[in-house]
């Protein structure tokens, strides 16, 4: 039993003086001072050899700690944390193993080392919440695409274009764009398609250049028209629900924490060089919690669907009513003038009759159904 916390040296001195008196019942004194006999006799032995120095409280830290992390490993932990301030215990432990270190401590031990050196704040601990999401079974089944919020360089605004494979979390593109226009985005997407092939589907939000938040699912953008002609299915997140593209939102959190916070860039090329270095680190070195601490590169494979040298022709079913879109994005059907999309100018679209509802048609561009038309409602309009 240890000594009581209050005025330890004074209590010890009193105990020693009473216990050294002739005829003192030392075991009874130990009971009254709230200590065990072994503790009391040990203090008396130390006092006999050391004098008053024996009364000074001593550290209970063991002389040897066989399980303590070796200094070399601890230095490696701290070096990785300083190099990657957003990495936690799991990522650092896995990266140390990947680098060939032996006897790497458990992630909880790594976290304790970071706490001991003041490298994890209470706010960071609170923010470290687990993320669980559905994922597609194979690479290239779905790509998520978006823009990270723009930021200022010394010479221009930077709009980071990000493309992420849903299954592997592999970063397919991280591009410093001058704007969010189709003209800015399409060449970079073409480069991605030429390198990695075509995905089965791409999911985006409803903002420019992907679509229109005011007419979600009722019109097509120029970029969508191009993607659809390539045979890619295009889908959109529900308006004002960015969690539908949850993996890329999480990617943006990592990008902000590890690359954008408290950094400045001279221009877009300067930002792009930083993007390329971080993207390589993210894909090939950074352990990913959602992948069992494997890297995205370990799970990604290029698509067998190659980018075509020319766009395929537009074809429809034999029973479809085909119309070519004219100026102002309009077509005529059964005497009605219908507005579809300016992006479809001079391209054929198909009206496919709904067998269950007379006068109703699904409107297709290639394989993509992008709107419905009820001619009965149009006939009732004054």
Whether the bond into 209 is cis, omega within 30 of 0: yes
Q: Which of 257, 295, 255, 261 is nearest to 275 (CA)?
A: 255
Distance CA 273, CA 279 (A): 10
Distance CA 80, CA 72 (A): 12
Q: Give residue for tokens 């496919």.
A: 352
Residue 369 CA neighbour count, 13 Å, CB half: 9
Distance CA 316, CA 347 (A): 12
* pLDDT for the residue 214: 47
* pLDDT for the residue 63: 56
* pLDDT for the residue 241: 53
**Cβ 275 vs Cβ 163: under 8 Å:** no
pLDDT tops 90 at residue 347: yes
The one-character DSSP state at 288 is: B
* Residue 164, strand partner residues: 144, 171
Mean pLDDT across the stretch 60-74?
A: 65
In CATH terms, the fold of domain 143-298 is: Nucleotidyltransferase; domain 5 (3.30.420)
E-strand ranges in 61-218 read: 143-147, 151-152, 157-165, 171-177, 201-204
Q: Where are the domains of the chain?
A: 8-55, 71-127, 143-298, 321-380
Mean pLDDT across the stretch 317-328?
A: 93
Three-state DSSP at 339 gives strand
Q: Give residue for tokens 């019942």.
A: 25
The pTM score is: 0.66
Cα–Cα distances in angstroms (integers) from residue 4 to residues 7, 53, 68, 219, 322, in the given order: 8, 18, 29, 78, 92
334: left (phi over 0), alpha (psi -120 to 50) or beta: left
* pLDDT for the residue 126: 39
* Residue 371, strand partner residues: 363
The one-character DSSP state at 259 is: I
* pLDDT for the residue 380: 55
**Cβ 165 vs Cβ 139: under 8 Å:** yes
| Average per-residue pLDDT for the chain | 84
Cα three-residue angle 328-330-333, rounded to 5 degrees: 165
pLDDT tops 80 at residue 105: yes
- What is the percent of the chain with per-residue pLDDT over 70, rounded to a whole number? 86
* pLDDT for the residue 351: 95
Mean pLDDT across the stretch 124-141?
A: 61
Distance CA 91, CA 85 (A): 11
Q: Which of 244, 374, 227 is nearest to 307 (CA)?
A: 227
pLDDT tops 90 at residue 255: yes
């Amino acid at each position: 039993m240890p000594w009581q916390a209050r005025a330890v040296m004074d209590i010890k001195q009193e105990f020693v003086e009473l216990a050294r008196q002739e005829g003192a019942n030392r075991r009874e004194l130990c009971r009254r001072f709230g200590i065990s006999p072994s503790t009391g006799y040990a203090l008396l032995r130390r006092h006999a050899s050391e004098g008053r120095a024996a009364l000074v409280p001593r550290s209970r830290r063991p002389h040897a700690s066989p399980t303590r992390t070796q200094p070399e490993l601890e230095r490696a932990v701290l070096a990785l944390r300083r190099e990657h301030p957003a990495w936690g215990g799991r990522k650092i432990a896995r990266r140390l193993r990947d680098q060939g270190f032996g006897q790497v401590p458990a992630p909880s031990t790594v976290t304790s080392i970071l706490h001991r050196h003041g490298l994890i704040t209470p706010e960071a601990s609170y923010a470290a919440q687990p993320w669980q999401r559905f994922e597609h079974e194979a690479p290239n089944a779905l790509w998520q695409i978006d823009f990270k919020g723009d930021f200022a360089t010394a010479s221009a605004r930077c709009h980071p274009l990000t493309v992420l494979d849903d299954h592997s979390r592999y970063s397919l593109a991280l591009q410093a764009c001058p704007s969010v226009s189709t003209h800015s985005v399409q060449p970079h997407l073409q480069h991605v398609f030429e390198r990695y092939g075509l995905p089965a589907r791409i999911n985006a939000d409803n903002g420019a250049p992907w679509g229109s938040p005011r007419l979600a699912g009722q019109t097509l953008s120029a970029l969508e028209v191009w993607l659809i002609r390539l045979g890619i299915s295009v889908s959109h997140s529900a308006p004002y629900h960015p969690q539908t593209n949850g993996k890329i939102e999480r990617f943006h959190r990592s990008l902000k924490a590890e690359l954008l916070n408290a950094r400045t860039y001279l221009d877009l090329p300067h930002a792009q060089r930083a993007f390329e270095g971080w993207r390589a680190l993210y894909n090939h070195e950074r352990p990913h919690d959602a992948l069992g601490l494997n890297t995205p590169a370990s799970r990604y494979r290029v698509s067998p669907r190659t980018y075509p040298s020319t766009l395929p022709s537009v074809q429809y079913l034999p029973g479809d009513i085909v119309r070519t879109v004219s100026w102002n994005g309009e077509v005529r059907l059964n005497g009605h003038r219908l507005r579809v999309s300016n992006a479809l100018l001079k391209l054929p679209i198909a009206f496919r009759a709904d067998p269950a509802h007379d006068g109703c048609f699904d409107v297709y561009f290639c394989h993509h159904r992008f709107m419905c038309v009820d001619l009965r409602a149009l006939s009732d309009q004054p």
